[in-house]
Amino acid sequence: MEAEAQRYGARRSDGGAGTQQACEARTKRGAACRSFALPDGQFCLSHDPERQMTVRQARAKGGAAASKLRALEGRRAKLDTPSALMHFTGKLIQDMLDGTTPVDVGRAVLYGISIQRQLVESGDLEQRLSALEARLEGGGAKRWSA
């Protein structure tokens, strides 16, 4: 337990592992920051002046990824038939090749498409089976005689 506390930078007031030191920075409203200070530092990640550029780049990267996901929401298609799935998949592959859709996003969507394909197939199979059962119960088809 103590080794894990040291790994995450936890400190006790007597210098041992146990409680973490609070960040010494102030928020924009003047209140004390409630985050924990980084190991061997007096500030948290957000307030550490030596890491400002890294934090700014990480926030920009996260914002860009979120905006790309929001852009995909506007392109929602009804994917309830094999032909619709095939058309959507083809467009997605082209978008990934063109660079308009990030490969990581495309990979996740392709995984979702594979699940959707299985659901469409099982739904189609269920409909066909129900139709056959209805024909057999109604006497609409000749039964094989032994």
Residue 12 and residue 30 in one domain: yes
Torsion of CA 78, 79, 83, 86, to 10 degrees: 120
Q: Which of 65, 90, 105 is the last residue of a domain?
A: 65
Distance CA 18, CA 4 (A): 10
Residue 53 and residue 81 in one domain: no
pLDDT tens-digit series, residues 88-139: 999 999 999 999 999 999 999 999 999 999 999 998 889 889 988 888 887 6
Find the helix or strand (DSSP H, E) in which 124 lies: helix 103-138
Residue 81 and residue 114 in one domain: yes
Residue 7 and residue 54 in one domain: yes
Confidence at residue 12, expressed as pLDDT on a 0 to 100 scale: 43
pLDDT tens-digit series, residues 24-34: 888 889 999 99
If phi > 0 it is left, if psi is from -120 to 50 it is alpha, else beta; for residue 29 that is alpha
Domain that holds residue 105: 72-138
Overall average pLDDT of the 16-26 stretch: 78
Residue 58 and residue 76 in one domain: no
Confidence at residue 16, expressed as pLDDT on a 0 to 100 scale: 53
Overall average pLDDT of the 13-21 stretch: 62
pTM given for the model: 0.42
Residue 1 and residue 56 in one domain: yes
Structure tokens, 62: 């996260």
For residue 141, what pLDDT band results from cuts at 50, 70 and 90? low
Distance CA 88, CA 92 (A): 6
pLDDT tens-digit series, residues 44-101: 888 888 888 888 888 888 777 777 777 777 667 788 899 999 999 999 999 999 999 9
Please report whether residue 143 resides in a domain. no
Q: Residues 6 or more apart from 143 whose CB is under 8 A from it?
A: 136
Residue 54 and residue 90 in one domain: no
Residue 76 and residue 54 in one domain: no
Please report whether residue 42 resides in a domain. yes
Residue 88 and residue 129 in one domain: yes
Residue 57 and residue 4 in one domain: yes
For residue 13, what pLDDT band results from cuts at 50, 70 and 90? very low
In the beta sheet, which residues pair with residue 36? 22
Distance CA 110, CA 88 (A): 10
Please report whether residue 28 resides in a domain. yes
Number of domains, the chain: 2
Confidence at residue 94, expressed as pLDDT on a 0 to 100 scale: 95
